[in-house]
Amino acid sequence: MQQIPFIYSNSAKWRISRHFSFWLLWFLFQLLLYSFSPSPALQRQTFLHRLLITSPETLMYLIPSMFLAYTLMYLVIPKLVLPGKYAWATLSAAVLVFLIAALSATLSMTVIDYLRHLNADKISPVVAHEPHPAFYVQFGVAMLAGLRGSITVGGVAAAIKLMKCFYERQQAALMLEKEKASAELQMLKAQLHPHFLFNTLNNIYSFTQEVSEKASGMIMGLSQLLRYILYDCSKPLVPIDQELKMIQDYFKLESARYDQNLDLSVQMPKFTDHLIAPLMLLPFIENAFKHGASQVTEHPWISLTVSVNNNELSVKLINGKPIISKNIAPGIGIANVRKRLELLYPGQHELEINDEEEMYIVNLRITLATGPVEAVKTVYHGTDQEIQLPHR
């Protein structure tokens, strides 16, 4: 991102320099254009004199140009072009161009026309009192000139913005590839052969069935959790019922440490054909236990509500926290989730995390992909009730 900081850097210094340079160059270009093709009142003047006279006009024309450019760069492109809403983007850009052309034509026939004749009165009274052409002719010519300027400045500004967005996405993708390769390398260094791991867990499970039903249940949950992480998470998208089942297994394993002391409320309504990037929700659940339930000595509690409406996943996670918080170094889990959301769901997610006095609140919304996935209905409340798992 720092290869060409003047173009790509988001620091305030470079942004101000970049925008100032763009509008200065555009002002000089328009000034020279108006001075080489002056109005009849200025044709007899020297080129330097025409530059001085047309400078205020050029500054006035900058107002609609700046409005068009920044509307395209900060509204149309981020909200419509990048999310893929091309029809709305085209319509919005066309409407903007014509509105700005009309605004430029109105300025030309009012304020700027007044300034021109004011100067012409001082320079050439004969030219100043020449009859005006018909209104519709004058407005039509002004509209054509406005369209020419609007299309030019809007096209240049949009091209620069799109080039910058493309470069940022390319750099983010390269960074994600590097992080993925590093994570895979670390996993390879530490992993056991999956067959050995699952065979060992199965053996331990068979031995513990007669000794402790609770222990055997925990081993089975751990086995299912590891199987999902090792095999299913290699796919770019997974059925959301599998992701939620994995979270249920995680809840079972964690809540077993608290006996009946953990107040756990989880609501997950029916899902049909929705897909999600794997392990997108687990870091939030881990944080709820790590920084919440495990730190509260009396009455730890966690509440999770998941719903889907019109392909939009809504997740609300609330957990209690100790009144006197310990200084815990922030982990990289949530930061990684934020990066994954920005890369995998650009413009299609909202994440809000609030650290209140007595609780943590996470609100997450994601627009999901769809596919042929088996329905699942899950309701779990309290540690003394069983989770209803989907049939497979």
SS3 128: helix
Cα 229 to the center of its chain, rounded Å:
27
Burial of 108 (0-12, 13-18, 19+ CB in 10 A): buried
The pLDDT profile of the chain, 392 residues, written as one tens digit per residue, is: 456 777 777 778 888 888 899 889 988 888 887 777 655 555 566 667 777 777 887 888 888 888 988 999 889 998 898 888 889 989 998 999 889 888 888 887 787 777 666 665 554 444 444 555 555 666 777 778 778 888 888 888 889 888 888 888 888 888 888 877 777 666 655 554 555 566 666 667 776 776 676 777 777 778 777 778 777 777 888 888 888 888 888 888 777 777 667 888 888 877 667 888 888 888 888 888 877 776 665 778 889 999 888 889 999 999 887 766 555 555 567 888 888 888 889 889 999 998 888 888 999 999 987 655 443 333 333 333 333 333 32
Q: Which residues contact 60 (CB under 8 A, 6 or more apart)?
A: 107, 111, 112
SS3 203: helix
Q: What is the pLDDT of residue 128?
A: 45
Q: What is the pLDDT of residue 366?
A: 94
Task: Name the pTM for this structure.
Answer: 0.46
For 234-271, the DSSP string reads GSS-EEHHHHHHHHHHHHHHHHGGGTT--EEEEEEEEE
Are the C-beta atoms of residues 329 and 338 closer than 8 Å to each other?
Answer: no
Q: Which residues contact 221 (CB under 8 A, 6 or more apart)?
A: 249, 252, 253
Query: Which domains are assigned to the chain?
Result: 5-183 (no CATH), 235-381 (3.30.565.10)
Q: What is the pLDDT of residue 265?
A: 87
Q: Which residues of 170-202 are buried (b: 16+ CB within 10 A; e: fewer)?
A: eeeeeebeeeeeeeeeeeeeeeeeeeeeeeebe
Are the C-beta atoms of residues 313 and 294 closer than 8 Å to each other?
Answer: no
Q: What single letter denotes the amino acid at residue 385?
A: Q
Q: What is the pLDDT of residue 190?
A: 52
Q: Could you tell me the strand order of the sheet in which 369-370 lies?
A: 238-239, 274-276, 369-370
